Chains A and B, each alone.
Chain A
Amino acid sequence: MCTTCGCGVGDTRVDGKALPDAGGQSAEGPSAESSSAESSSDGDPPGSNQASPKGAGNNPAASYRALAADGRARPTAHGFAHSHRHGETHTHAGGAPAEKAGTSTGHARLVQVEEDILSANNAFAAANRRHFAEHGIFALNLVSSPGSGKTTLLCRTIEALRATLPIAVIEGDQQTSRDAERIRASGVRAVQINTGKGCHLDAHMVGHACDDLQPDEDSLLLIENVGNLVCPAAFDLGEAHKVVILSVTEGDDKPLKYPAMFHAASLMLLNKVDLLPYVDFNVELAVDYARRVNPALQVVALSATSGEGFAAWLDWLQTASRQQQAGKRATIAALQQRISELEAQLAQHARS
Protein backbone atom coordinates (compact mmCIF):
# COMPACT_ATOMS: atom_id res chain seq x y z
CA MET A 1 0.00 0.00 0.00
CA CYS A 2 1.09 3.48 -0.71
CA THR A 3 1.42 5.70 2.30
CA THR A 4 2.77 8.58 0.27
CA CYS A 5 -0.10 9.60 -1.97
CA GLY A 6 -2.72 7.37 -0.41
CA CYS A 7 -3.69 5.53 -3.56
CA GLY A 8 -3.09 2.03 -2.34
CA VAL A 9 -4.83 -1.27 -1.96
CA GLY A 10 -4.24 -2.17 1.67
CA ASP A 11 -7.48 -0.64 2.86
CA THR A 12 -9.72 -2.23 0.24
CA ARG A 13 -12.85 -3.89 1.66
CA VAL A 14 -15.56 -5.94 -0.04
CA ASP A 15 -18.67 -5.73 2.10
CA GLY A 16 -16.45 -4.86 5.02
CA LYS A 17 -14.04 -7.77 4.58
CA ALA A 18 -10.39 -7.22 3.81
CA LEU A 19 -9.38 -8.03 0.26
CA PRO A 20 -6.45 -10.39 -0.11
CA ASP A 21 -3.47 -8.86 -1.78
CA ALA A 22 -3.56 -9.68 -5.46
CA GLY A 23 0.12 -10.43 -5.39
CA GLY A 24 3.18 -8.60 -4.23
CA GLN A 25 2.10 -5.15 -3.26
CA SER A 26 -0.26 -4.30 -6.04
CA ALA A 27 -3.93 -4.85 -6.59
CA GLU A 28 -3.08 -5.38 -10.22
CA GLY A 29 -0.42 -7.97 -9.56
CA PRO A 30 -1.35 -11.60 -9.92
CA SER A 31 2.09 -11.84 -11.47
CA ALA A 32 3.86 -11.69 -8.16
CA GLU A 33 2.61 -15.14 -7.28
CA SER A 34 3.32 -16.71 -10.60
CA SER A 35 6.36 -18.52 -9.36
CA SER A 36 5.28 -19.24 -5.81
CA ALA A 37 4.76 -22.85 -4.83
CA GLU A 38 1.36 -22.30 -3.23
CA SER A 39 -0.26 -20.76 -6.25
CA SER A 40 1.04 -23.25 -8.74
CA SER A 41 0.06 -26.25 -6.59
CA ASP A 42 -3.51 -25.05 -6.53
CA GLY A 43 -3.74 -25.05 -10.24
CA ASP A 44 -7.39 -25.56 -11.11
CA PRO A 45 -8.23 -23.48 -14.11
CA PRO A 46 -10.63 -20.62 -13.48
CA GLY A 47 -14.12 -21.91 -14.02
CA SER A 48 -13.54 -25.37 -12.62
CA ASN A 49 -16.26 -26.69 -10.39
CA GLN A 50 -14.36 -26.69 -7.18
CA ALA A 51 -16.85 -27.34 -4.39
CA SER A 52 -14.78 -26.26 -1.44
CA PRO A 53 -11.55 -24.36 -1.19
CA LYS A 54 -8.62 -26.65 -0.65
CA GLY A 55 -5.44 -25.63 1.02
CA ALA A 56 -7.41 -23.04 2.92
CA GLY A 57 -4.48 -22.47 5.18
CA ASN A 58 -2.29 -20.91 2.59
CA ASN A 59 -4.74 -19.88 -0.10
CA PRO A 60 -5.49 -16.19 0.34
CA ALA A 61 -8.72 -16.50 -1.65
CA ALA A 62 -9.91 -19.27 0.62
CA SER A 63 -9.14 -17.45 3.83
CA TYR A 64 -10.92 -14.44 2.40
CA ARG A 65 -14.02 -16.51 1.82
CA ALA A 66 -13.80 -17.97 5.29
CA LEU A 67 -14.14 -14.44 6.62
CA ALA A 68 -17.55 -13.99 4.98
CA ALA A 69 -19.46 -11.75 7.37
CA ASP A 70 -22.88 -13.30 7.02
CA GLY A 71 -21.64 -16.88 7.12
CA ARG A 72 -23.23 -17.92 3.81
CA ALA A 73 -21.52 -20.84 2.16
CA ARG A 74 -19.78 -19.60 -0.93
CA PRO A 75 -19.11 -22.22 -3.54
CA THR A 76 -16.36 -21.13 -5.84
CA ALA A 77 -17.93 -22.69 -8.89
CA HIS A 78 -18.33 -19.34 -10.57
CA GLY A 79 -14.70 -19.26 -11.43
CA PHE A 80 -13.93 -16.07 -9.62
CA ALA A 81 -11.70 -17.87 -7.17
CA HIS A 82 -9.21 -16.82 -9.67
CA SER A 83 -6.84 -14.42 -8.31
CA HIS A 84 -4.28 -16.57 -6.83
CA ARG A 85 -4.01 -18.86 -9.78
CA HIS A 86 -3.65 -16.20 -12.34
CA GLY A 87 0.06 -16.64 -12.39
CA GLU A 88 -0.34 -19.12 -15.22
CA THR A 89 -1.95 -16.59 -17.48
CA HIS A 90 0.74 -14.08 -16.86
CA THR A 91 3.94 -14.52 -18.74
CA HIS A 92 6.62 -12.17 -19.78
CA ALA A 93 6.87 -11.55 -23.46
CA GLY A 94 8.87 -14.49 -24.72
CA GLY A 95 9.26 -16.19 -21.34
CA ALA A 96 12.47 -15.26 -19.61
CA PRO A 97 13.50 -11.71 -20.38
CA ALA A 98 15.83 -11.52 -23.32
CA GLU A 99 19.22 -10.11 -22.59
CA LYS A 100 20.93 -7.73 -24.90
CA ALA A 101 24.42 -8.49 -26.06
CA GLY A 102 25.71 -5.05 -25.23
CA THR A 103 26.26 -4.77 -21.48
CA SER A 104 27.67 -1.89 -19.57
CA THR A 105 30.38 -1.84 -16.93
CA GLY A 106 30.91 -4.56 -14.32
CA HIS A 107 28.03 -6.96 -13.84
CA ALA A 108 25.47 -4.54 -15.15
CA ARG A 109 23.40 -5.80 -18.07
CA LEU A 110 20.29 -4.83 -19.93
CA VAL A 111 17.15 -6.94 -19.78
CA GLN A 112 14.32 -6.45 -22.24
CA VAL A 113 10.92 -6.78 -20.62
CA GLU A 114 8.37 -5.28 -23.07
CA GLU A 115 5.42 -5.76 -20.78
CA ASP A 116 2.29 -3.64 -20.50
CA ILE A 117 2.09 -1.97 -17.09
CA LEU A 118 -1.57 -2.96 -16.88
CA SER A 119 -0.97 -6.57 -17.96
CA ALA A 120 -1.74 -7.97 -14.51
CA ASN A 121 -5.02 -6.05 -14.24
CA ASN A 122 -5.84 -7.01 -17.81
CA ALA A 123 -5.37 -10.71 -17.00
CA PHE A 124 -7.88 -10.42 -14.15
CA ALA A 125 -10.21 -8.46 -16.43
CA ALA A 126 -9.98 -11.14 -19.12
CA ALA A 127 -10.92 -13.82 -16.57
CA ASN A 128 -13.91 -11.73 -15.43
CA ARG A 129 -14.96 -11.13 -19.04
CA ARG A 130 -14.72 -14.83 -19.87
CA HIS A 131 -16.86 -15.68 -16.88
CA PHE A 132 -19.47 -13.07 -17.82
CA ALA A 133 -19.62 -14.43 -21.37
CA GLU A 134 -19.96 -18.03 -20.19
CA HIS A 135 -22.89 -17.13 -17.96
CA GLY A 136 -24.64 -14.62 -20.22
CA ILE A 137 -23.99 -11.84 -17.70
CA PHE A 138 -24.09 -8.38 -19.24
CA ALA A 139 -21.70 -6.24 -17.16
CA LEU A 140 -21.48 -2.46 -17.30
CA ASN A 141 -18.88 -0.23 -15.64
CA LEU A 142 -20.59 3.04 -14.70
CA VAL A 143 -18.12 5.90 -14.38
CA SER A 144 -18.57 9.58 -13.60
CA SER A 145 -17.56 12.33 -11.23
CA PRO A 146 -19.07 12.19 -7.72
CA GLY A 147 -22.61 13.54 -7.57
CA SER A 148 -23.60 12.94 -11.21
CA GLY A 149 -26.53 10.83 -10.05
CA LYS A 150 -25.20 7.31 -10.66
CA THR A 151 -26.92 5.71 -7.69
CA THR A 152 -30.28 7.40 -8.36
CA LEU A 153 -29.95 6.27 -11.99
CA LEU A 154 -29.28 2.71 -10.84
CA CYS A 155 -32.26 2.70 -8.47
CA ARG A 156 -34.63 3.85 -11.21
CA THR A 157 -33.13 1.37 -13.70
CA ILE A 158 -33.55 -1.48 -11.24
CA GLU A 159 -37.12 -0.48 -10.49
CA ALA A 160 -37.94 -0.52 -14.21
CA LEU A 161 -36.20 -3.78 -15.12
CA ARG A 162 -36.12 -6.07 -12.10
CA ALA A 163 -39.38 -7.80 -13.01
CA THR A 164 -37.99 -8.92 -16.38
CA LEU A 165 -34.23 -9.14 -15.86
CA PRO A 166 -32.21 -10.45 -12.89
CA ILE A 167 -29.94 -7.65 -11.69
CA ALA A 168 -26.94 -7.50 -9.35
CA VAL A 169 -24.90 -4.47 -8.36
CA ILE A 170 -21.32 -3.84 -7.29
CA GLU A 171 -20.89 -0.49 -5.58
CA GLY A 172 -17.49 1.18 -5.38
CA ASP A 173 -16.75 4.00 -2.97
CA GLN A 174 -13.79 5.01 -0.88
CA GLN A 175 -15.79 4.68 2.33
CA THR A 176 -19.23 3.67 3.70
CA SER A 177 -21.76 1.14 2.45
CA ARG A 178 -24.51 3.74 1.99
CA ASP A 179 -24.84 3.12 -1.73
CA ALA A 180 -25.06 -0.67 -1.42
CA GLU A 181 -27.75 -0.18 1.23
CA ARG A 182 -29.69 2.12 -1.12
CA ILE A 183 -29.47 -0.50 -3.86
CA ARG A 184 -30.49 -3.37 -1.56
CA ALA A 185 -33.50 -1.30 -0.50
CA SER A 186 -34.55 -1.34 -4.15
CA GLY A 187 -34.77 -5.11 -3.94
CA VAL A 188 -31.68 -6.51 -5.68
CA ARG A 189 -28.45 -7.98 -4.38
CA ALA A 190 -25.53 -5.60 -3.99
CA VAL A 191 -21.96 -5.80 -2.74
CA GLN A 192 -20.02 -2.77 -1.57
CA ILE A 193 -16.33 -2.40 -2.35
CA ASN A 194 -14.59 0.21 -0.25
CA THR A 195 -11.32 1.15 -1.86
CA GLY A 196 -10.09 2.86 1.32
CA LYS A 197 -7.81 5.48 -0.09
CA GLY A 198 -7.81 4.08 -3.62
CA CYS A 199 -9.26 6.15 -6.44
CA HIS A 200 -10.66 3.44 -8.74
CA LEU A 201 -11.91 -0.15 -8.88
CA ASP A 202 -9.67 -2.74 -10.49
CA ALA A 203 -10.42 -6.12 -12.02
CA HIS A 204 -9.10 -8.05 -9.02
CA MET A 205 -11.51 -6.32 -6.61
CA VAL A 206 -14.41 -6.94 -9.00
CA GLY A 207 -13.53 -10.65 -9.31
CA HIS A 208 -13.71 -11.01 -5.54
CA ALA A 209 -16.90 -9.00 -5.31
CA CYS A 210 -18.43 -11.37 -7.87
CA ASP A 211 -17.34 -14.31 -5.72
CA ASP A 212 -19.52 -12.84 -3.00
CA LEU A 213 -22.32 -11.64 -5.20
CA GLN A 214 -22.69 -14.67 -7.50
CA PRO A 215 -24.66 -12.86 -10.23
CA ASP A 216 -27.45 -14.97 -11.76
CA GLU A 217 -27.24 -16.66 -15.13
CA ASP A 218 -28.30 -14.24 -17.94
CA SER A 219 -28.35 -11.29 -15.55
CA LEU A 220 -27.42 -7.64 -15.72
CA LEU A 221 -24.42 -6.70 -13.57
CA LEU A 222 -24.09 -2.99 -12.87
CA ILE A 223 -20.73 -1.92 -11.47
CA GLU A 224 -20.75 1.59 -10.06
CA ASN A 225 -17.17 2.77 -10.02
CA VAL A 226 -15.65 5.22 -7.56
CA GLY A 227 -16.82 8.75 -8.38
CA ASN A 228 -13.80 10.02 -10.29
CA LEU A 229 -13.62 11.25 -13.86
CA VAL A 230 -9.91 10.44 -14.22
CA CYS A 231 -8.46 7.21 -12.84
CA PRO A 232 -11.14 4.57 -13.57
CA ALA A 233 -10.63 5.19 -17.31
CA ALA A 234 -7.40 3.20 -17.33
CA PHE A 235 -8.65 0.07 -15.55
CA ASP A 236 -10.52 -2.63 -17.45
CA LEU A 237 -12.82 -4.55 -15.09
CA GLY A 238 -13.94 -7.12 -17.66
CA GLU A 239 -17.11 -5.17 -18.43
CA ALA A 240 -18.90 -5.19 -21.78
CA HIS A 241 -18.93 -1.38 -21.85
CA LYS A 242 -17.96 1.62 -19.83
CA VAL A 243 -20.91 3.98 -19.50
CA VAL A 244 -19.98 7.54 -18.58
CA ILE A 245 -22.58 9.66 -16.83
CA LEU A 246 -22.33 13.43 -17.23
CA SER A 247 -24.88 15.57 -15.45
CA VAL A 248 -25.89 18.96 -16.81
CA THR A 249 -24.93 20.64 -13.54
CA GLU A 250 -21.29 19.79 -14.19
CA GLY A 251 -20.66 21.91 -17.28
CA ASP A 252 -20.66 21.11 -20.99
CA ASP A 253 -16.87 21.24 -21.39
CA LYS A 254 -16.15 18.22 -19.14
CA PRO A 255 -15.44 15.91 -22.12
CA LEU A 256 -12.56 18.19 -23.13
CA LYS A 257 -11.29 18.64 -19.58
CA TYR A 258 -11.37 14.90 -18.78
CA PRO A 259 -10.98 13.32 -22.22
CA ALA A 260 -9.63 9.91 -21.16
CA MET A 261 -12.93 8.86 -19.58
CA PHE A 262 -15.04 9.90 -22.57
CA HIS A 263 -12.55 8.16 -24.84
CA ALA A 264 -12.84 4.91 -22.90
CA ALA A 265 -16.67 4.86 -22.76
CA SER A 266 -19.09 3.40 -25.32
CA LEU A 267 -22.17 5.25 -24.09
CA MET A 268 -22.65 8.66 -22.48
CA LEU A 269 -25.72 9.26 -20.36
CA LEU A 270 -26.44 12.96 -20.11
CA ASN A 271 -28.23 13.05 -16.77
CA LYS A 272 -30.39 15.60 -14.93
CA VAL A 273 -31.83 17.07 -18.15
CA ASP A 274 -34.85 18.15 -16.06
CA LEU A 275 -32.54 20.87 -14.68
CA LEU A 276 -31.61 22.29 -18.11
CA PRO A 277 -33.88 25.35 -17.74
CA TYR A 278 -31.93 26.37 -14.63
CA VAL A 279 -28.33 25.85 -15.71
CA ASP A 280 -26.04 27.19 -18.40
CA PHE A 281 -25.42 23.94 -20.27
CA ASN A 282 -25.37 23.50 -24.03
CA VAL A 283 -26.35 19.91 -24.85
CA GLU A 284 -25.24 20.04 -28.49
CA LEU A 285 -21.88 21.45 -27.52
CA ALA A 286 -21.35 18.80 -24.83
CA VAL A 287 -22.15 16.02 -27.30
CA ASP A 288 -19.89 17.61 -29.92
CA TYR A 289 -17.00 17.84 -27.43
CA ALA A 290 -17.54 14.24 -26.35
CA ARG A 291 -17.50 13.02 -29.97
CA ARG A 292 -14.32 14.95 -30.71
CA VAL A 293 -12.70 12.77 -28.07
CA ASN A 294 -14.57 9.62 -29.07
CA PRO A 295 -16.25 9.66 -32.51
CA ALA A 296 -18.06 6.38 -31.83
CA LEU A 297 -19.64 7.49 -28.53
CA GLN A 298 -23.40 6.86 -28.26
CA VAL A 299 -25.42 9.40 -26.29
CA VAL A 300 -28.70 9.21 -24.36
CA ALA A 301 -30.07 12.31 -22.63
CA LEU A 302 -32.23 11.52 -19.62
CA SER A 303 -33.27 12.39 -16.12
CA ALA A 304 -33.11 9.76 -13.41
CA THR A 305 -35.41 11.92 -11.30
CA SER A 306 -38.20 12.77 -13.75
CA GLY A 307 -37.81 9.72 -15.98
CA GLU A 308 -37.51 11.81 -19.15
CA GLY A 309 -35.52 9.98 -21.84
CA PHE A 310 -35.32 6.86 -19.68
CA ALA A 311 -37.00 4.58 -22.22
CA ALA A 312 -34.05 4.92 -24.64
CA TRP A 313 -31.60 3.87 -21.92
CA LEU A 314 -33.73 0.89 -20.88
CA ASP A 315 -34.02 -0.14 -24.55
CA TRP A 316 -30.26 0.03 -24.96
CA LEU A 317 -29.77 -2.10 -21.82
CA GLN A 318 -32.31 -4.74 -22.77
CA THR A 319 -31.05 -5.05 -26.35
CA ALA A 320 -27.43 -5.38 -25.24
CA SER A 321 -28.35 -7.86 -22.49
CA ARG A 322 -30.20 -10.03 -24.99
CA GLN A 323 -27.16 -9.96 -27.29
CA GLN A 324 -24.94 -11.17 -24.45
CA GLN A 325 -27.38 -13.98 -23.65
CA ALA A 326 -27.63 -14.91 -27.34
CA GLY A 327 -23.82 -15.04 -27.48
CA LYS A 328 -23.78 -17.52 -24.61
CA ARG A 329 -26.44 -19.71 -26.22
CA ALA A 330 -24.57 -19.67 -29.54
CA THR A 331 -21.38 -20.82 -27.81
CA ILE A 332 -23.22 -23.61 -26.01
CA ALA A 333 -24.93 -24.71 -29.23
CA ALA A 334 -21.58 -24.77 -31.06
CA LEU A 335 -20.03 -26.84 -28.27
CA GLN A 336 -22.96 -29.30 -28.28
CA GLN A 337 -22.69 -29.60 -32.05
CA ARG A 338 -18.98 -30.37 -31.68
CA ILE A 339 -19.70 -32.99 -29.00
CA SER A 340 -22.19 -34.80 -31.25
CA GLU A 341 -19.69 -34.69 -34.12
CA LEU A 342 -17.01 -36.18 -31.90
CA GLU A 343 -19.40 -38.82 -30.55
CA ALA A 344 -20.30 -39.80 -34.10
CA GLN A 345 -16.61 -40.08 -34.95
CA LEU A 346 -15.97 -42.14 -31.84
CA ALA A 347 -18.83 -44.48 -32.68
CA GLN A 348 -17.41 -44.99 -36.16
CA HIS A 349 -13.99 -45.87 -34.73
CA ALA A 350 -15.58 -48.29 -32.27
CA ARG A 351 -17.33 -50.07 -35.15
CA SER A 352 -14.24 -50.38 -37.31
Chain B
Amino acid sequence: MHEMSLAMSVIDIVENAARAGNFRRVSTVWLEIGQLSAVEPEAMRFCFAAAARGTLADGAQLQIIEVNGRGLCFNCGETVPLAALYDPCPACGGYPVQATGGTEMRVKELEVE
Protein backbone atom coordinates (compact mmCIF):
# COMPACT_ATOMS: atom_id res chain seq x y z
CA MET B 1 0.00 0.00 0.00
CA HIS B 2 2.79 2.40 -0.93
CA GLU B 3 0.09 4.33 -2.81
CA MET B 4 -0.55 6.18 0.47
CA SER B 5 2.96 7.60 0.58
CA LEU B 6 2.66 8.43 -3.11
CA ALA B 7 -0.70 10.13 -2.49
CA MET B 8 0.84 12.18 0.32
CA SER B 9 3.64 13.19 -2.04
CA VAL B 10 1.00 14.31 -4.54
CA ILE B 11 -0.57 16.51 -1.84
CA ASP B 12 2.88 17.96 -1.01
CA ILE B 13 3.44 18.79 -4.67
CA VAL B 14 -0.03 20.40 -4.86
CA GLU B 15 0.62 22.46 -1.71
CA ASN B 16 3.94 23.67 -3.10
CA ALA B 17 2.30 24.60 -6.38
CA ALA B 18 -0.32 26.51 -4.37
CA ARG B 19 2.37 28.56 -2.62
CA ALA B 20 4.14 29.27 -5.91
CA GLY B 21 0.98 29.90 -7.92
CA ASN B 22 -1.02 31.62 -5.22
CA PHE B 23 -4.24 29.62 -5.16
CA ARG B 24 -6.23 28.27 -2.25
CA ARG B 25 -8.47 25.54 -3.65
CA VAL B 26 -7.82 22.66 -5.98
CA SER B 27 -10.82 21.11 -7.66
CA THR B 28 -9.16 18.62 -10.01
CA VAL B 29 -5.77 16.89 -10.03
CA TRP B 30 -4.54 15.17 -13.20
CA LEU B 31 -2.00 12.41 -12.70
CA GLU B 32 -0.11 10.64 -15.44
CA ILE B 33 0.39 7.02 -14.39
CA GLY B 34 2.27 4.57 -16.58
CA GLN B 35 0.87 1.12 -17.11
CA LEU B 36 4.20 -0.37 -15.99
CA SER B 37 4.65 1.89 -12.95
CA ALA B 38 4.22 0.62 -9.42
CA VAL B 39 0.84 2.31 -8.98
CA GLU B 40 -2.57 0.71 -8.85
CA PRO B 41 -4.98 3.45 -10.01
CA GLU B 42 -7.84 2.31 -7.77
CA ALA B 43 -5.60 2.21 -4.70
CA MET B 44 -4.30 5.65 -5.65
CA ARG B 45 -7.86 7.04 -5.84
CA PHE B 46 -8.68 5.63 -2.43
CA CYS B 47 -5.49 6.95 -0.85
CA PHE B 48 -5.73 10.34 -2.55
CA ALA B 49 -9.17 10.94 -1.05
CA ALA B 50 -7.79 10.09 2.40
CA ALA B 51 -4.59 12.11 2.01
CA ALA B 52 -6.46 15.15 0.67
CA ARG B 53 -8.74 15.39 3.68
CA GLY B 54 -8.26 18.68 5.49
CA THR B 55 -5.96 20.08 2.77
CA LEU B 56 -6.62 22.52 -0.06
CA ALA B 57 -7.36 19.51 -2.25
CA ASP B 58 -10.08 18.15 0.07
CA GLY B 59 -12.82 16.71 -2.13
CA ALA B 60 -10.84 17.33 -5.32
CA GLN B 61 -11.48 15.07 -8.27
CA LEU B 62 -8.61 12.81 -9.24
CA GLN B 63 -8.19 12.22 -12.96
CA ILE B 64 -5.73 9.50 -13.85
CA ILE B 65 -4.31 9.54 -17.35
CA GLU B 66 -2.99 6.05 -18.02
CA VAL B 67 0.10 5.94 -20.21
CA ASN B 68 0.56 2.75 -22.21
CA GLY B 69 3.62 0.63 -21.66
CA ARG B 70 6.25 0.29 -24.39
CA GLY B 71 9.18 -2.03 -24.71
CA LEU B 72 12.09 -3.04 -26.92
CA CYS B 73 12.01 -6.71 -27.91
CA PHE B 74 15.45 -8.33 -27.64
CA ASN B 75 14.26 -11.06 -29.99
CA CYS B 76 12.97 -9.12 -33.03
CA GLY B 77 14.37 -5.68 -32.21
CA GLU B 78 11.00 -3.95 -32.57
CA THR B 79 9.61 -1.32 -30.20
CA VAL B 80 6.26 -2.75 -29.18
CA PRO B 81 3.34 -1.99 -26.86
CA LEU B 82 3.81 -3.77 -23.52
CA ALA B 83 0.97 -4.36 -21.05
CA ALA B 84 3.06 -5.99 -18.30
CA LEU B 85 6.76 -6.29 -17.49
CA TYR B 86 6.73 -10.06 -18.05
CA ASP B 87 4.66 -10.15 -21.27
CA PRO B 88 6.12 -11.68 -24.43
CA CYS B 89 6.63 -9.51 -27.50
CA PRO B 90 3.25 -9.05 -29.21
CA ALA B 91 4.99 -8.96 -32.61
CA CYS B 92 7.15 -12.10 -32.50
CA GLY B 93 6.08 -13.83 -29.27
CA GLY B 94 9.68 -13.78 -28.01
CA TYR B 95 11.43 -12.80 -24.78
CA PRO B 96 12.71 -10.69 -23.24
CA VAL B 97 11.17 -7.28 -23.77
CA GLN B 98 12.91 -4.37 -22.03
CA ALA B 99 10.46 -1.72 -20.79
CA THR B 100 11.20 1.63 -22.41
CA GLY B 101 8.07 3.64 -21.58
CA GLY B 102 4.99 3.68 -19.41
CA THR B 103 6.80 3.74 -16.08
CA GLU B 104 6.01 7.37 -15.24
CA MET B 105 4.17 8.69 -12.19
CA ARG B 106 3.63 12.44 -12.55
CA VAL B 107 1.40 15.22 -11.31
CA LYS B 108 0.51 16.77 -14.64
CA GLU B 109 -1.99 19.53 -14.12
CA LEU B 110 -4.31 21.12 -11.57
CA GLU B 111 -7.61 22.94 -11.82
CA VAL B 112 -7.51 25.59 -9.14
CA GLU B 113 -9.48 28.50 -7.73
Contact = CB atoms under 8 A, between A and B. Distances in A.
Nearest to B16: A31
Contact of A31 (B13, B23, B104): B13
A104 B111 contact: yes
A108 B106 contact: no
A24 B108 contact: no
Interface string B32-55: 000001100000001100110000
Interface residues of A, number: 64
Contact of A23 (B6, B12, B17, B106): B12
B27 A31 contact: no
Contact of A2 (B8, B16, B20, B99): B8
A259 B113 contact: no
Interface stretch (A74-82, A117-125, A131-139, A340-348): A117-125
Contact of A6 (B1, B84, B85): B1
A234 interface: yes
A88 B7 CA distance: 22
Q: Is the interface of A mostly helix, strand, loop or mixed?
A: loop
A101 B60 CA distance: 22
A195 to B, nearest CB: 10
Contacts of A100: 109
A26 B85 contact: no
A69 B113 CA distance: 47
User: Which has the most chain A C-beta neighbours within 10 Å: B2, B50, B51, B105?
Assistant: B2
Interface in A21-80: 23-29, 31-32, 34-35
B16 A92 contact: yes
Interface in B1-31: 1-6, 8-17, 19-21, 23, 27, 31
Nearest to A116: B106
A198 to B, nearest CB: 7
Given A108-B27, A116-B105, A292 B86 contact: yes
B20 A92 contact: yes
A25 to B, nearest CB: 5
B111 A109 contact: yes
A29 B107 CA distance: 14
Nearest to A107: B113
B50 A4 contact: yes
A334 interface: no
A291 B75 CA distance: 13
Contacts of A294: 85, 96
Interface in B62-111: 74, 84-86, 88, 95-99, 104-111
A110 B38 contact: no
Contact of A106 (B1, B104, B113): B113
A28 B5 contact: yes
A289 B36 CA distance: 17
A90 B108 CA distance: 17
A28 B107 CA distance: 15
A108 B9 CA distance: 23
A109 B110 CA distance: 8
A120 B107 CA distance: 13
A6 to B, nearest CB: 7
Contacts of B50: 2, 4-5
Nearest to B27: A108
Interface string A189-201: 0000000001110
B113 A96 contact: no
B9 A260 contact: no
B5 to A, nearest CB: 6
Interface of B: 1-6, 8-17, 19-21, 23, 27, 31, 37-38, 46-47, 50-51, 74, 84-86, 88, 95-99, 104-113
25 contacts: A5-B47, A7-B3, A24-B8, A25-B51, A26-B8, A26-B11, A28-B8, A32-B12, A92-B20, A96-B20, A97-B17, A109-B113, A111-B110, A113-B108, A114-B106, A117-B6, A117-B13, A117-B31, A117-B106, A120-B9, A120-B13, A199-B2, A295-B74, A295-B96, A295-B98
Given A108-B27, A115-B106, A295-B98, 17 more contacts: A5-B3, A25-B51, A26-B11, A29-B8, A31-B12, A95-B20, A110-B109, A115-B13, A116-B105, A117-B6, A117-B10, A117-B31, A118-B105, A120-B13, A234-B6, A292-B88, A293-B96
